[in-house]
Each structure stands twice: as C-alpha cells, then as structure tokens.
Structure 1
Amino acid sequence: MQQQPNDIDVLLVGSGLGSLTAACLLAAEGLKVKVLEQNYLVGGCTSSYWRKGFVFEAGATTVVGLDEAMPLRFLLQKTGISLPDLVPLDLPMLVHLPDGQLINKYQNLQHWITEAQRAFPETSPTAQAQFWEFCYKISEFVWQTSTAQRHFPPSSLRDLWPMLSNIRWEQLRYGAYSFRTTDWLLKRYGLDKSSRFVRYINEQLLITAQNHAAEVNVLFGATALCYTNYTNYYVRGGLINLVMPLVRYIEQRGGQVQVREKVLNIEKQNTGYQIFTNKNTYQARFVVSGIPANNIADIYPNNPRQNALRKALFPSEKLNSAFQMGIAFRRKHHFEAIHHQIHLPEQLPHLDSKSIFVSLSHPADLTRSDVPDVVIASVSTHIPNPAAQAAFDKTETENQILALLEKRGFLRREDVLYTHSSSAKSWEKWTVRAFGFVGGYPQLATVRPWQMLDARLDGHGAYLCGDTAYPGQGVPGVVLSGLIAYEKLKTDWLK
C-alpha cells in the first residue's frame, strides 16, 4: 500500500451525484479534490453500463431539477457546466392502473388537474383541483426554500446568520406542514374516501419518498407528487452522460476522479485525515462522504460523533432494495411516454410489491444499442427489508414481468433480444451499499426535516452528502445534499 503525496485538500468517498456536486463546487473554490470510487464506473446509482451490446441504466431513471430555483440548475449556474445530452420530455410519465386505465402525468398543472378529475370520477372535481393546486404551491415553496436555505438543517451557530438572512414569512407559514402527513392532506380534501385514489397516491410516493402517505410529511409528499409538473429529461446515451460533464469539470480544475479504488478506513488526525484504501494511503485536510451513512459509520470508527450517528442509522427493516430487470427488445410501435408506473392487480412472486416502474430508451437515441430499432427498458420494483430477503428463483419473477409487459402492449415475447435481472445481493455487490439498499432513507413521520442527518459528519472537517443525508433521494435531493456539504465546509473553513 503506497503513501501518496499530502497535497489533497478534500478527499471525497464515492462518486455519486452528491459527491460530484460537492467536488465541483470545492474545485471551483480552488481546492485540490480527489474522488475515490470503488466501482469501475462513476456515478453510483446515477450511471449506465454496457452489456451484450446494449446500454442499461444502473439505477435512477428520471431526471428533474433544472427549473427555476432547483438544485441542478443552481449547480450549473454556479459552475458553468453544460449538459448537452439532456432531452426534455413532452409527457413526463404514464400511470397504468390495475384495471388497465391509463393516466397521463402532464407537466402543465391545469392539464394534469383535468386528467386527475377524469381518472378519478368518484372524487370531487373541486377537491381534486384544490388538492393539486395546494401540492404544487407547496412544491414551489420547497424548492425555493431549499436552494435559498443551504445551511439547513442547522448544526452550528455558523448556520444561523445565513439562515436568518434568507428567512421569509412563507417558511414559517408552510413549515408547520412538516408536522402533518400526506394522508392528513387527503382527508382534508375528502379524497381519502376513494381507495383507488389513495392507492394511486401511495404508489406514486414510493417513487421519490420510498414510503406511503401515512409516513410522508406534507412538505416532502406534495413535492414528490408534483415532480412531474416540472420539466423532466431523458439523458441521451444513458445517465452516465449526466455525471461525466461533472467529472470533466473536476479534472479540468486539477482534481482527480479515481475508479476501482475502495476506501477501507478513515482516521481523524490532529491536522486532517488519513484515508486507507485497497491501493493507497492518503492524507487530506477534509473528507466528504457520498456513500450511505450506514457504510461511512463502518469505515470511520473513530468519528467523534459515532454514537449519535449510529443511533440515527436506519436498519434494514426500514429500508428498501430493488428488483431490477434490463430488457432489450425490437421496437414495433411508438410509445407516448418513456416513463411508466404500472400498478399491479396482484403482487409479484417473492416480492412484497404492488407496482413496477418502467423506463424506456428515447426513440431518437441511437447510441444505446449496436442493433437499430431496439428499445432498452429498465424495470424496477421495491424489495422491503433487503437483509431478510430469502434467495429465490429470479426466473419466475422475470417471466411474470415479461408477461405483464406483453399484456400491456409494450413488447412481444418473440421480439425480446436480451434480459438480465438483479436483486438486493446484486445491488450490494455492485454498489457496496449496506444490505444492497437503494433509494435513500424512506420518509418517516417520526423524523422531521431538521432531524435528518446533517452534512457535518464529525463536527470537524468531515462532511456527509448523498441520499441518506438531508434532504434525501432523487437527482434534485442528492444534488442539494452536495450543495449543502459544500456550503457548510466553506462556512466552517474557507471564510
């Protein structure tokens, strides 16, 4: 194991979107940054991989965050990074109800309200309009506040002045909704009377909140339900092309992004940190962890805040992994949308799951297959409590998914060129995330926004970002976590 030169200002663990966001902003400040990634691909769950002549997505498949006051837009404006491979979507999503009815998730709010009124005629049209108008207003507030309040949640007196200088009346007014859950909101508008609508809401919340309405506070729930009312994008060539411009930006400013190097242990020293990997030993003034809190707790055992961190960790029982299936098939017709959530009449074998999420390659994207006129599909569904999942024959689940997609008109079995699938153990091997959990920490009614894990990992020079830190999962969420880690490090040490 080689001792490396001591010229690293910030060593970042993991190359997920949170880490890369923080690395870009710190490099822009003139700091020497080094990002270490244990995999052979950068991006973590926001990445793509080549297999058997096709490019499949590694994880997250929806991209949002470039509208006014949203985190990804803030990052690009701050750094000047451009993302040339983004393609805006005309229709962000199609939802397939168990009876086969289709719901168009229009971006335009009024168009969406009209569609919701049509899809759920048993509910009051007025209540539907009021519910969605309220949710959208909350979502606008959340994004405007999140990018303005980049020192939230406060964990130091240094956070108070920047927070107070950006405080607005709306933050006090709407902040009270963090004490209310989304099922309370449904009752407020009388929409809880429709079991069809309640199930629709619960399945939609699983996409971005990883939980149901009874556990998701109104601020997060309304924002999660309205993410299709903002501009959604497809990334040409796969999600790897969302993160590579950030990698190039870091390298152009003297930083490094190193793959196939796993951090094994971090030790706090008097003048910084010593980091041990499977290949080298590094010294750095600061550390930023973009890997899950469960993992960093294991590799940073002498963290001065270790006891508090351990108490805040979610066990497997509160987490989700995913069963994911990649499918390549010959294109036979045009799809109205590339993102589909299918609500199932009965759960899949071996999985406690009542919906699947399907993302298709864009018809204009010819870079993800060696064969012309091919659709690349990523199919995923939740696996609760992944550590307890028993081994099972994935073939039965794969066949049921293929049968479902054939019944819904996505494909014909004879047109399928290639399939593969992965479950919790595969995710654990690929990402090295504890239990193979994905999607971040689920929202819980007992955990308020200010009680979520903060960016200050040890109260000294180590920081945390990614989907287990505030505010949570999704492209906007992890980018915001990187912004917050950068802001707090800058406030603590660079001013």
Structure 2
Amino acid sequence: MYDAAVVGAGFGGLAAAADLTSKGYNVVVFEASNELGGSAGQFERNGYRFQSGATVGMGFEPGGVLDSLFGRLGIEKPSMKSLDIIMDVHLPDRTIHYYRDRNEWYKEMARVFEGPGTAFENFYDEVFKVGRLVDQLTDKLPVFPPRTWGDYAHLLPLVNESSLRLLPYMTQTVEDRLKKHGLDQHRMFRTFLNGELMDSVQTSVENCPAFLGFAALQTFHKGAFAVHGGLAEAAGKLAAYIREHDGDVLMRHPVHSIEKGDAGFTLHSKRNSTFEARQVILNNSVHNLHDTLTEELSSQSYIRPQKETAKKAWGAFIIHGGVDADVFLDTDVLYHQFIDPDHPDDLHNGGQFLLSLSDLEDTRMAPEGKRSFTLSTHTDISPWWKAGHYEDEKRWMKEKLLRTVDHYFEGFTDQLDLVLPGTPVTFQKWLRRRDGKVGGYAPTGKYSWLTSYSVRTGIPDLYQCGDTVFPGAGTLGVTLSGLMAAKQAAKGLK
C-alpha cells in the first residue's frame, strides 16, 4: 500500500507528490496521458514542439514558489530566459511594453496612458502592497477558504496587523479600487487591466475581488521566464525526483474510479488493475471529481454536482503552429497580447488573445529558421458542442486570430508552416477536461472567493489541487494548491 496516491501529473500533482516524497513517504502518481505537466504539458508535430496551454514560467525567481521547491528538493532548475518585457500589449493605436521592472513600468504607464497626475503609480503602489500581504499568507499554505474548525484555528496565528490590512480588499472589486483612484472611467487603462486579469484570473475588473486581482497583477512583476524546452521540462524534473526517491510515476494510467475501504482507498486503473493508498490527492480538476469517485464516496463531498456545473468556467480556443523566424526579426519580445479597445468587455472569442513565440536560442522548439507559436483565447464552451456548427466556428475563429496577428506582423499568414487549431472539444479529448473547461473558475463579484473550493473535498484523507482549487490557475497557483494539499495529507500520515 502506498502512503499517498496522486491522480494527475500536472504541476499541482507533481509538486504535491515531490513534497511528500521529500518527507519520506511512499508516493505514486497516475497520469492518463503520455505527457507530464497537464495543461502546461507539451507535444511534438513535424519537427516542432508545442506547449499545450500555459507558456510563461512564473515562480522561478529567487525566493519564488518553484525556485524554493526546487531548492528544497535539491533539483537544478531547467534552462530559462528571464523576460525584461513580460509581453507587448497591442492595440490599434499603440503598443504597451509591459515591463517586469517596477520603475520601468511606471515610466511606460506615463508614456502610454493619459491621466490625472500620479494616479496610475498610486494604483500600482497599492497593487504591490496588497500583493505582498497575500504572499505572506499563502506562503504559510493555509486551507482557504477554511472548511473546518481546524482550518480556522490554523488561520488565527496569521491574523495580525499586516493581514488585517487585507480585509478592505476582500470586500471590494478591482473596479472599486479604480474608483478610489479616479481611474474607473479611464477606458484605455481599464481595457489594459481587463486583458491582464482575463489572462490571469479569468475575469474583468468589475467581477474580480480586489485581493485576488492585485495578487495576480503583482505576480507579473516578480519574475517571468521563457523555459527552454517548455514548462514540461520543469515537470519532468519533478517526476524524475519522485522516481529517484523510490516513488512511482505511472504514465498512461487513467484512474477510472476510487472507492474507500477499511484500510484506505482503492484506485482502479487500466486493465482492471488496482492500487491501494492511505491518502489521495486529486489533480484532475473539480470538474471531473464526481466522475472519478464511486457514488457512495461522491455523496460524502461538500461539492455538489449541480452547483459545480453552474459555476462559470471558460474553455479555450488555441492554435499551435510554425512560422518562418523572419516574421519576428524586428522584436525580441516572446509574448504578445492583442486587445480590441472598441469592445473592452468582449474579452473572449478573439477579443483578447495571447501569442507565445519560441525563443530563437531554444533549438528544441522548432527547426532551424522556424519558430513555434501558440495563440490562445478564452471561449464560451456550449457553442462548440452544438452539432452542425463546429467546423464553421473553428474555421472562423482560426482566421480571425491569424488575421489579427498578420495586421501587426506583416507576412505572418504568408509564412505559416503549420497550423493546428484546437477547441474545448480538443481539450476534453486530449487533457480529459470535462466539457473542455480549462483555467479554473471565473470570479463573479467581490464575494465570489467565498465559494471557491479549498484543497478539502469534505471526504477524510482525500484532497484536491489544481486550477479549480484556491488559489487558482497558472503554474504558480496550481503549485501552491499542490503544496497545500500535500501539507494536509502529511498530517494524516504522521
């Protein structure tokens, strides 16, 4: 019998498994596919390597979440390039260079945004202040939102003068804070923030709790990296650590069902194989929770299927492709965001989307003289499952995104070498995300964080992590939730 079983080899699951392994526990990780990293995994086609979803490396800066984890484990970080400009944000009348350095960003805001005095600086001063306070709390890996009296008890030591300063930001939205600074009617700044929040928190200023939005915005400025070979290189190092320390990472081993017995849990995998574990951590998204558990076990969870299905979640339309390197010779920036300012609230279906380019120095990502790229935009899920419209919708979206990039980088469409579009249907097929939902849940107001799911499932000794669990999406967020789940599982193993 294993001490712990982890279902899903995304960053959350691998972080949890590696952390438990480092404490001497016997751990097994089950991965349904043949690739590590989950939504930050990779695949190869025609000499190109593509990242499935997430592409920007976060948390690798000194003292960052992944830097600290790799340091504790004694693992060397993969080769990567630090980004002075996180991304270029393209609008029809201007390009915003989104600098990592705080002072450079303040200068850039003064250049591109016309507004009242120091309002933009004051707003970002608040972003950094609140972001630091959130970091101080999440570094302690609390169960949040608290589900048990024990969770509340563990939060009490964290209640001090600093944490109490967070309270106003837990009862307001980002838009409320914009009003405080006289910036709520500044259309261009609001459009910019909507783009960044949609990318990181899956929502817009009017729906985003202030403390979550500020924590996300400040994360961009702590450190952003292009990981050579793709983020899956980091996932591979975590998996190698687990194996080298007598743990198991089983690829192509989907877990079909989990049941509870007297001694622990029984996990059913392929060809009727079964595995026993004392503790279980699910990294296969809350969307899939009730598909994974037996009916008896599922009924014990506080997460109800009807309420889970009703929570707002996005799908993604994505294009993986290859292009001649000459198209981007005039820019050193690897990440580009395109926003339509005439429709600032239309943040999906191509109204806002990202272009990620492979680094020219990274020869594993593309043939010589070529670059691999990824285009991705949020999309409503339901239209993609309507029979008769699928191919037309996919063609229309593909042409819209490619045409927009060609407007800013002339010759892009003429020098395409490979184009592979993907939809929510694709994400369900290859990543087993139910209905193709990715990126976690979209906040819907200032108190929406209260309905977030914590690492607890409500079932003793069975935990969860990943983008559908607080603190949410991105490799940084899912890694934190994995460490939170591992902390709770370790308590049950002592």
Cα gap change, 1:468/1:230 in structure 2, threshold over 3 Å: closer, same or farther?
A: same
Distance 2:10 2:312 in 1: 22
Indicate whether 1:198 and 2:190 are aligned. yes
State the partner residue of 1:494: 493
Cα gap change, 1:139/1:35 in structure 2, threshold over 3 Å: closer, same or farther?
A: same
Distance 2:468 2:307 in 1: 9
State the partner residue of 2:41: 47
Distance 2:418 2:80 in 1: 26
Equivalent pairs: percent with the same residue?
A: 27
1:336 deviates by 3.0
Indicate whether 1:405 and 2:402 are aligned. no
Distance 1:441 1:320 in 2: 7
Matches within 5 A, 1:172-321: 172-279=164-271, 280-300=273-293, 301-303=295-297, 306=300, 308-310=302-304, 313-315=307-309, 318-321=312-315
SS across alignment from 1:315: helix
Distance 1:459 1:307 in 2: 6
196-205 vs 450-459, greater mean Cα deviation: 450-459
1:308 deviates by 2.2
SS across alignment from 1:302: helix
Q: What CA deviation, in whole Å up to 9, does each residue of 1:178-206 have, x standing for no partner?
A: 11001111111111111222122112110
Q: Which of structure 1's runs of 4+ aligned residues deviate more than 6 A?
A: none
Indicate whether 1:341 and 2:340 are aligned. no
Distance 1:366 1:207 in 2: 27
What amino acid maps onto 1:270 in structure 2? Answer: D
Q: What CA deviation, in whole Å up to 9, does each residue of 1:299-323 have, x standing for no partner?
A: 2132366452116854267110111
State the partner residue of 2:374: 378
SS across alignment from 1:303: helix
Aligned partner of 1:365 among 354, 362, 383? 362
Distance 1:484 1:176 in 2: 25
State the partner residue of 2:112: 119
Between the two proteins, the alignment pairs up a number of residues equal to 483
Aligned partner of 1:101 among 94, 101, 110? 94
SS across alignment from 2:469: coil
Cα gap change, 1:101/1:448 in structure 2, threshold over 3 Å: closer, same or farther?
A: same
Q: Does structure 2 retain, via aligned residues, the 8 Å contact 1:293–1:313?
A: no
Indicate whether 1:131 and 2:128 are aligned. no
Q: Note the residue ranges of structure 1 that are not aligned, 5 or more in a row.
A: 1-6
Distance 1:305 1:214 in 2: 35
Q: What CA deviation, in whole Å up to 9, does each residue of 1:280-337 have, x standing for no partner?
A: 1111111110011120122213236645211685426711011100121111114231
What amino acid maps onto 1:285 in structure 2? Answer: R
Q: Does structure 1 retain, via aligned residues, the 8 Å contact 2:172–2:446?
A: no
Cα gap change, 1:8/1:44 in structure 2, threshold over 3 Å: closer, same or farther?
A: same
Query: Once superposed, what is the RMSD of the aligned Cα atoms?
Result: 2.2
State the partner residue of 1:76: 70
State the partner residue of 2:477: 477
Cα gap change, 1:346/1:128 in structure 2, threshold over 3 Å: closer, same or farther?
A: closer
Q: What CA deviation, in whole Å up to 9, does each residue of 1:253-304 have, x standing for no partner?
A: 1111111111111111122111111231111111110011120122213236
What amino acid maps onto 2:278 in structure 1? Answer: R
Distance 2:79 2:406 in 1: 30
Distance 2:350 2:277 in 1: 44
Q: What CA deviation, in whole Å up to 9, does each residue of 1:369-418 have, x standing for no partner?
A: 2x212111100001124466542422332223222212101643332111
Q: Does structure 1 retain, via aligned residues, the 8 Å contact 2:349–2:397?
A: no
Distance 2:477 2:60 in 1: 12
248-257 vs 313-322, greater mean Cα deviation: 313-322
Cα gap change, 1:77/1:152 in structure 2, threshold over 3 Å: closer, same or farther?
A: farther
11-20 vs 301-310, greater mean Cα deviation: 301-310
Distance 1:149 1:248 in 2: 25
What amino acid maps onto 1:190 in structure 2? Answer: G
State the partner residue of 2:352: 355
